[in-house]
Amino acid sequence: MSMEVWLGFFAACWVISLSPGAGAIASMSSGLQYGFWRGYWNALGLQLGLIVQIAIIAAGVGAVLAASATAFQVIKWFGVGYLVYLAYKQWRALPMDMSDESAVRPIGKPLSLVFRGFLVNVSNPKALVFMLAVLPQFLNP
């Protein structure tokens, strides 16, 4: 990879990273609810979901998903359903007093947090289509 291509990829990664999405919201929510260190488990799940999406793009399945309206709709509605489920759980959650540092926070189970983060990223069709549009520009066939 030439230096110009690498710098372009680096700049694109920064711009993409600065725009918040479902993963950023999931990270903030997990960190606020379970604390800074437990939030890392959610971030691990988000990264695993991202790896799956990159593998899908690299295998060429992303092009099939982008070309197939039905496949894209299935992934999109799965993501919508999961986000609605998360919103419902948050809406039903008991309020917490965040001003008290000694307040007892619920303990998130690590595997549950990883799975939750994984589902957020793997069910995000916007990220899949975005990577399909951006990533191939920086690859040398």
| 38 found inside a domain | yes
> How many Cα atoms occupy the beta-carbon half-sphere of 118 within 13 Å?
12
| 120 found inside a domain | yes
The per-residue pLDDT for range 24-39, each reduced to its tens digit, is 888 888 888 888 888 8
Radius of gyration, alpha carbons of the chain: 17
User: Are the C-beta atoms of 129 and 24 separated by less than 8 Å?
Assistant: no
Q: Find all residues with CB under 8 Å of 105, minimum gap 6, and list them.
A: 33, 34, 35, 96
The per-residue pLDDT for range 77-136, each reduced to its tens digit, is 887 888 788 788 888 877 766 566 555 566 678 899 999 999 988 888 777 777 777 777
Tally of domains within the chain: 1
- Measured CA to CA, the distance from residue 50 to residue 121 in angstroms comes to 6
| 118 found inside a domain | yes
| 1 found inside a domain | no
| 2 found inside a domain | no
pTM: 0.66
| 3 found inside a domain | no
Segments forming the whole domain that contains residue 66: 21-93+105-138
